[in-house]
Structure formats: C-alpha cells, structure tokens
Amino acid sequence: MEIVGSRWKAPSNDVVSNLPLYRSAPLLEVRLEDFELFAMDRLRVLRGISDGLSRGKKPEEMQKLVNDLWKTNMRHTLSSEVINKDIISHFVLRLVYCRTEELRKWFLSMETTLFRNRFKLESSDAQRALMAEFDLPYKAVSTSEYESIKDKLGQVARSIGQSLPTADAIFYKVPFEEVPELVAGRRVFICKGYAYVAMNQVVSLVVTQFRSLLSKALILTNRKWTSTIREEKDRLAPIVETLCMSYLGPDYSQPKEFAEISIKDIDHVAKSSFPLCMRNLFEKLREDHHLKHGGRMQLGLFLKGVGLKLDDALAFWRAEFSQKVGAERFDKEYAYNIRHNYGKEGKRIDYTPYSCQKVISLTPGVGDHHGCPYRHFSEENLRAALGKMGLASRAVEDVMDKVRNRHYQLACTLTFEAVHGASCDTGINHPIQYFNDSQKNNPSK
C-alpha cells in the first residue's frame, strides 16, 4: 500500500454510495497500529461470513449476519473515518491473502459475499451509481420492448414468488452467460441469447464484475508483493505473513478466575471436556509416557490454560515421563521447558495456549501427535476417535462431510454439539473455549 499524505475521496456523482469498489490502493497515511487493527476487524467479518456459509445459512440469514458483523466490527470512533477503515482494511487483507492460490480463493469468495450483501442494502439510485462506476455496457430496456415481453416477465416473476413488474419497472438486457446464477435458478426471462434482468437482480451483474476485477487484482498484488517483500521484511512482512493465522477471539492467556483442575481430576475432565486434539495428546501421553516437543507444547499450554498450576504440571509430567526416561533425566531435560511455559524461566514470557488456527496450521511429522485430528487423521482413525467420544453414526457423517470440505473448526463444533447435546452458535475457535463451554454444559463434571 502506498503511504502518502492525502485522503481517499468518493467519486463525484449525484448519488454517492458508501460501498467502495476498491479499484486502487488508497493514498492514505496509515499508522502501523491501524494497519493491523483495521485488518483484524475486517477479518472478523470475513471469518463470520465463512462460518455462516459453512453452516448453510439461507440468503436472508446471511444478509442479517453480514449486516450484524459489519456493524459490530467495522465501526470507528470518528464517523468520517469509517469509509477509510473499510478501504484500508480491504487492501491490507488483499496483501495478506494474495500470497497463495488457496488464500486467494478464500479471500475472493468471502469478499464477494460481503460485497453482494452490502450492495443489496444500497438504494436503487446508489446501485445504479455503482453500475455506472463499473462502466457496464448495459442499457435499460425501452418502453416498447418492455411492453412486448411484459407477459413473459410476469410469468417469471410469479414463478419465483415476486410481485408483477409495474409500468415504471427497470430491466436490463444482458448476454445470458453474464448472469449464470440467475439462469441456473430460472429467475430471468431469456430470449435470443439475452437475459432480461430486473433492477432488484442487478446485484448478479455487479458481483460478477467485482469478482472478476478482484481476482485479477489479487494476482497483480502477489507479483508486486513478491518483488517488494525484501524492502518491507522488517516492518510489514511479519504482519502480512501472520495475519491470516491470527486468533481473534477472547484472551485465554490466563485461566478464568477460580478455574483450576487438579491431578486427581485430570483423567475425568480429559474424557468429558477436552477437545479431540487435546484428548488425543492426553491419551497418547498416558499410553506412551512420552510426547515429542510439539505435543508437549500444545498439550502443556492447554493444561496451563484450563487451570493446572505449575507445581501440579511438574508433578503430572514427571509422573508420566519418569516411567519412560527416569525422574533424573526428566528434571534435567524437560522440567525447564514446563517452567518456561509458565513464565518462570528465560525471558519469563507468560505463553498463551494455542488457538484452533495455530493447531490447524501445525504439520506433525512421524511419531508426532500434535496438530488438528480433523485435518491430519486418516478417515478410519478419525471415525474411530469420534465413535470413542460417543458420536452416533449420523453425527459422524456430518462431521466427516465438514472435514472433506476442510471446515475443520466447524467439524469440531459439530463434535461438541453432538457430545454435549447443545448448540454452539459462535463455533469453536479455541481449545480453551471448547473446555470452558463443556464445563458450563456439564457442571457436575
């Protein structure tokens, strides 16, 4: 993004829309703090959209969800800065998500869905202004042509449950291949290769253009970023490279007040309230009396986060590892790292338990047991693990369906709901969240 001292200005039309088309990077002075915070707020919106789509929400439900997400996350203390936050956050995330094909595909899908729903909220005049900005080569159907096809347009309207077009209705005549979703849904009248698109359907035209332009822009952004990354390796590169994996939920760096688990209860709560990723590590530790570094970090920080005190953590890990390597070797080679995780050694940083994004991003090697089971387990092993947690066959199939589509957090959410018989509308975003919500649903446990 260019960093210079001027402000973004909306195009000068009679009717001005608050919905930018993100044609070019804004010429704005952006503080590094805002650069990151604005992007994280927009990322909350996009991830909320992703979760809604994964859950199969209906169009009207998605409209409400997008509206709520936008109002909650994209506010600014200065109303005059809201549109700048919108544009800055888009271009920051464009940098973040341009770097691989998989990232580009996700960002393109989420931004297109966001644009579609925001466009629908614009007035008809504002929508026409946006069409003019796209310079779409479509003209409104003339009165005489409208009269000649009015009956056909009425038949289509009735078939899709809409009111009949009135005399002042506006329709656009466009090549049918440019509105594939309307054609597939049989929501337009087609004649001689042209589709007659009502004003309330022009979102399909505009979204097609928006998606095409953004797709090309992401490729260009990737090339520019690749060529300039060395110049920004100390300032922007660390932010850009880690933002897509950022955890945006509540802070779980400290256990909740009064939250504490003891060694004598740990087996019971592991079975009743640990998410699959931590339950798998816990069981492997009990079986083998050892975990490699990645497993020790993932499970150890989780145990700290759910309330296992340092002295109990040392006693717990010593009891297990001493069966494999002996107590003396444990004290020499492993105890330091446990104290380090609790901020008692080295730089004395109080380390935070891994989020779902972090767990999913891990790549376990041979003999490792950390990472996300929904991502790394074979289908046979995952089915067996889910069955061991008590999931019925239908619930297992629902989870497996999400896994095949790489919706790993949603798969974990469905597992939680099946195990506890309770809904989790917010979705599972952190292993500590899973544990806390489990404890709320099972107070006796």
Residue 144 makes CB contacts below 8 A (sequence gap 6+) with: none
Q: What 3 state SS string does 367-387 have?
A: CCCCCCHHHHCCHHHHHHHHH
Residue among 24, 31, 23 nearest 5 (CA): 31
Backbone φ/ψ region at 120: left (φ over 0), alpha (ψ -120 to 50), beta = alpha
85: tokens are 């936050």
pLDDT of residue 297: 95
The SS3 call for residue 137 is: coil
pLDDT of residue 7: 35
326/336 Cα distance (integer angstroms): 16
pLDDT of residue 247: 66
pLDDT of residue 115: 95
Residue 85 makes CB contacts below 8 A (sequence gap 6+) with: 34, 38, 41, 74, 76
* Residue 324 contacts residue 398 (beta carbons within 8 Å): no
pLDDT of residue 443: 55
pLDDT of residue 104: 93
Alpha helices in 100-160 (DSSP H): 101-120, 124-134, 143-159
| Weakly modelled stretches of the chain, pLDDT under 70 | 1-16, 229-235, 246-249, 251, 253-259, 443-445
Which tens digit of pLDDT belongs to each residue from 202-230? Answer: 888 889 889 999 999 999 999 888 887 66
* Residue 10 contacts residue 34 (beta carbons within 8 Å): no
pLDDT of residue 3: 35
Burial 406-439 (b: 16+ CB within 10 A, else e): ebbbbbbbbbbbbbbeeebeebbbbbbbbbbbbb
pLDDT of residue 253: 65
pLDDT of residue 255: 64
* Residue 281 contacts residue 377 (beta carbons within 8 Å): no
